[in-house]
Amino acid sequence: MHILIAEDQLISRMILSDHLRKWGHQVTDVSNGKEALEVLFNCGSEIDMIITDWEMPIMDGISLAKVVREISATSHYIYIILLTGRNEFTDIVAGFSEGGVDDYIVKPFEVLELKLRIQGAIRLIKSERALRESNDNLERLVRKQTQDIRETQEEIISRLFNALESRDQETAQHVMRIAAMSSFMGGLLGWAPSRLDAIRAAAPLHDIGKIGIADSVLLKPDALTAEEFELIKGHTQIGAKILSGSHNPIIQMGEVIAHSHHENWDGTGYPKGLKENEIPIVAQVVSIVDVYDALSSDRVYRKGMPFDKVMAIISDSVGKKFSPGIGELFIKNIKDIQEHCETVNYSIAKREENSPD
């Protein structure tokens, strides 16, 4: 053990040092609390125990103990023994309660008492460090398992996304922008970082039900017939069914979004005709960014609309298709949303550039 002695009386310091070295310990000795702190700041990780006198010049033992406790709270535990000439019970209690000392020895002390106190301290130090190591190992295990679960979640979502991308490259690019814009809108709504991460991962699943739509309808370059549009509308329920029954929060959010992102504020949407706050907020967010991106982007059957026309449609749909709160927030922040989209589009372009043919 490396033991630091803080004692202003030279004779006492020498006696302590001699005994501790004889018992096989490494010893550093100083004459006051300030010097003890300097040693701690320079080689604190090496100090296992401090034996400090209570009454010393510059900084007394209780003041030293308080600082040491703050230091050891974020590093390894340092055992503190207080030397004192005070033998009153109230004084001893004050030393424990105010300074956070672990033990005390009343001066003058017997050598055997000192040895027994040191041996007891060593046992406690080893036990405390074993407990800390066990806790650290447990924390590392929990972090690893949490990361493994997160990676599994992301892999599942990525595989679902890849299944959709293999059928419709336009849809793949679209959902990447939806993910980014949905998270951006969530930030404007003041959502917690964990919820932003969740919607960023879940939003790409909003159209996953299109896997169940025939290519002849999904990839048709011309306008859809009424019958074909009814088939397309079925992607909401198909998507919800694909994602249903999961205990994964992201997949659960994806199910809600897939099912309800075509519901309208005024109740004219599908598949259930939900209205106003019956529509989950995550679906409301995805709904408006989905429409914005769909109108702005080129499709196999039409070119993307000019910005002014897109915003006119969005504005006219507030209170009808979109929640007034969500709609007004979107319109107010459209410039920032556009800039965010440009960043996402650049990322998509780089991804395509680096992809093998």
**Residue length of the chain:** 357
Average pLDDT over residues 110-131: 88
Over residues 130-142, the mean pLDDT reads 83
Average pLDDT, the chain: 84
Q: Which of 94-98, 124-128, 254-258, 313-317 is least confident?
A: 94-98
Task: Please compute the mean of the pLDDT values over residues 122-135 and round it to a whole number.
Answer: 84
Residue 156: is it exposed, middle or buried by C-beta count within 10 angstroms (0-12/13-18/19+)? Answer: middle
What gap in Å lies between CA 154 and CA 306, rounded to an integer?
35
pLDDT beyond 90 at 186: yes
> What residue ranges in 237-347 does DSSP mark as E strands?
none
Q: What confidence tens digit (pLDDT) does each residue in 197-221 have?
A: 999 989 988 888 888 888 788 777 7
Residue (of 317, 315, 323) closest to 260 by Cα position = 323
Q: Is the dihedral of CA 163, 293, 253, 229 positive or negative?
A: negative
Q: Flag the least confident range among 4-18, 90-104, 215-229, 316-330.
A: 90-104
For the chain, where are the alpha helices, taking DSSP H only?
10-22, 33-43, 61-72, 89-99, 111-165, 169-188, 193-202, 215-218, 226-233, 235-243, 249-260, 281-296, 307-317, 324-332, 334-354
DSSP 246: -
Percent of the chain at pLDDT > 90 equals: 38
- Dihedral sign for Cα atoms in the order 138, 140, 141, 143: positive
**Within 13 Å of residue 33, how many CA atoms lie on the same side as its CB?**
20
**CA neighbor of 81 nearest in space, from 35, 9, 11, 16:** 16
Residues 328-349 have pLDDT tens digits of: 999 999 999 888 777 766 555 5
Is the per-residue pLDDT at 319 higher than 90? yes
Query: Amino acid identity, residue 231?
Result: L
Q: Which amino acid is at 147?
A: Q
Structural domains for the chain: 2-138 (3.40.50.2300), 167-354 (1.10.3210.10)
